Chain A
């Protein structure tokens, strides 16, 4: 089966610009996650969707980050305006459902560099 798809794979922007990332989860997966992985750290959960509703966005910097999952399938994560400290790899993951027993499958990530 096809895995989690993300685009773009790489993005370089200047601070104060905006950027958007796209994720297409595995077909049939109800739960979608966005993680931020800063160099030298493990992934940190930003937001979790169940179908098209937000389950957890407690670690999302809502003053500059936003995310949506229209129709409960694809999702976009936006940063506006970007700061230098937003440089990181943004990972999307999906699972059949939100219980931990369902494995999370990760995409290849988008590497963002903010200059």
Chain B
């Protein structure tokens, strides 16, 4: 069965620390990959996406993610986090033959302390 795994459920770090969130998926075919973010009290929103081409993609607010096809991974990174990055982060996979259908991971709650 297809699955999306996020390695950490909770991450706590200090401002200016670097962040890396892991995401692995199991699917034999071609996929599109996404990271979504939900800030406290706000709607789920798109952070960045990968369809093809350069495996290093940049998103909003200084986030980037790297697609490693051989490892079925799409890890999210930010070199220096801010308190405002406190949020829940979701990795999502779209098999290219499934018309926009997204399969989400369980999410990682990130808390950035001042």
Please indicate the chain A residues that have their CB under 8 angstroms from the CB of B100 in the complex: 31, 48, 95, 98-100, 102, 104
Interface residue ranges of B58-114 to A (CB < 8 Å): 90, 92, 94, 96, 98-107
B44 within 8 A of A: yes
Chain B, residues 18-51, CB within 8 Å of chain A (1/0): the string is 0000000000000010000000000111100101
Shortest distance between the CB of A76 and any CB in chain B (Å): 20
B106 interface neighbour in A40, A56, A95, A109, Cβ under 8 Å: A40
Contact A106 B44 (CB under 8 A): yes
- Say if the beta carbon of A28 comes within 8 Å of chain B: no
| Cα–Cα, bound, A95→B34 (Å) | 15
Does A43 count as interface, using CB distance less than 8 angstroms? yes
List A residues 44-60 near B (Cβ within 8 Å): 44-45, 48, 55-56
Total A-B pairs in contact (CB under 8 Å)? 58
Chain A residue, CB-CB nearest to B51? A101
Q: How far is the CA of A17 from the CA of B11 in the complex (A)?
A: 39
Contact B99 A99 (CB under 8 A): yes
B44 to A, closest residue via Cβ: A106
Interface size on B, as a range, is 20 to 34
Docked-complex contact B92 and A55, CB < 8 angstroms: no
A interface secondary structure, majority: loop
Question: Count of chain A residues with Cβ under 8 Å from any Cβ of B?
Answer: 27
Q: Which A residues are CB-close (under 8 A) to B44?
A: 43, 91, 93, 106
- Interface assignment of A14: CB less than 8 Å from any CB of chain B: no
Task: Report the Cα distance A104→B105, complex, angstroms.
Answer: 16
Contact of A44 among B32, B51, B94, B104 (CB under 8 A): B104
- In this complex, the member of A41, A106, A109 whose beta carbon has the largest number of chain B beta carbons within 10 angstroms is A106
Which residues of B are in contact with A by a Cβ distance under 8 Å?
4, 9, 32, 43-46, 49, 51, 90, 92, 94, 96, 98-107
Q: Top 7 closest A-B pairs, CB basis?
A: A42-B104, A106-B44, A100-B94, A98-B100, A100-B32, A100-B100, A98-B99
What residues of chain A have their CB less than 8 Å away from a CB belonging to chain B? 3-4, 31, 40-45, 48, 55-56, 91, 93, 95, 98-109
